Amino acid sequence: MENQQLFSNNDRGLAYGDGFFTTALVCNGRIELWPLHVKRLVQCQQRLGFPELNLEALERLVYERIKGETKAVLKILITRGCGGRGYQAPQSPTPSFSIQVLPFPENYSKWQQHGIETVLSRVQLGIQPLLAGLKTLNRLEQVLIKQDAQTLECDDVIVTDINGSVIESSAANIIVIKNNRVYTPNLANSGIKGVFLTSLESQVDITVADIDLEFLQLADGIFICNSLIELVPIIRFEQQCFDIEYLLTLKKQILGMSS
């Protein structure tokens, strides 16, 4: 297994988005939540019909790349490689992959301390249960969502599906606190379940629910979360504002449950 950074013009990842990836936080030469990232890669490999991954070789290369990094972003991207006829995948594909180590975004620390302002995205997610939950390379919806967010006065957007159900932010899961209970949207038909949410669910009682905009408007607190930003308070959603000190107290309570 080579550390391949460049893909052929005929690579199926480039042509069809035929691949998957994961993005992890690196702290002091250690990959946070690494077992869950591996589990995500294996889930994608199995559900998309890729050959079995050589996880030992992959882990060895990954740790070689992050050696000496104090705080960074690790991105592992895997495609089905070249071959096949049109959409038809080759019977015995040879996957290509990339391992990238990127700077940690400076604004994430500010978000964690001061919260973010959000509005409703004008772009809605389609429904496809076969791909729901998988972090595939088909991310054009997210590209359009980010483009939409750049035209709005906000730090991030809340995204619904075409039926109006709340799903996620542009790149993170949603946690809702209401009446001392913790909720997260149902992702059975669209969206991605991040590894931070998976980790949190293993230690905190979180109810998966069909959440609409009215539910958000009645919430005591709203957060977004992923493996890079961890748990970030929302201080404004549309015209609804939340007290940052109260949200930080809630955050401590949630993370305290998971300690």
Residues labelled as active-site residues: 23, 135, 168
Residue type present at position 114:
H
Helix H or strand E encompassing 21: strand 19-27
DSSP-assigned letters across all residues of 98-142: EEEEEEPPTHHHHHHHH-EEEEE-S--B---TTTTT--BS--HHH
For residue 100, the cross-strand partners are 75
Instruction: Please state, in angstroms and as integers, the Cα–Cα distance from residue 32 to each residue in 171, 172, 179, following that order.
Output: 18, 17, 31
Give me the numbers of helices (H) and strands (E) for the chain, helices first please. Answer: 8, 13
Distance between CA atoms of 204 and 75, rounded to whole angstroms?
Answer: 27
Token output for 224: 């977004």
What is the Cα–Cα distance from 231 to 236, expressed in whole angstroms?
15
With residue 158 as reference, give the H or E element that holds it: strand 156-160
* Backbone dihedral angles phi then psi of residue 142, each to the nearest 5 degrees: -70, -35
For residues 215-229, one letter each, b for 16 or more C-beta atoms within 10 angstroms of the residue's C-beta and e for the rest, the string is: bbeebebbbbbbbbb
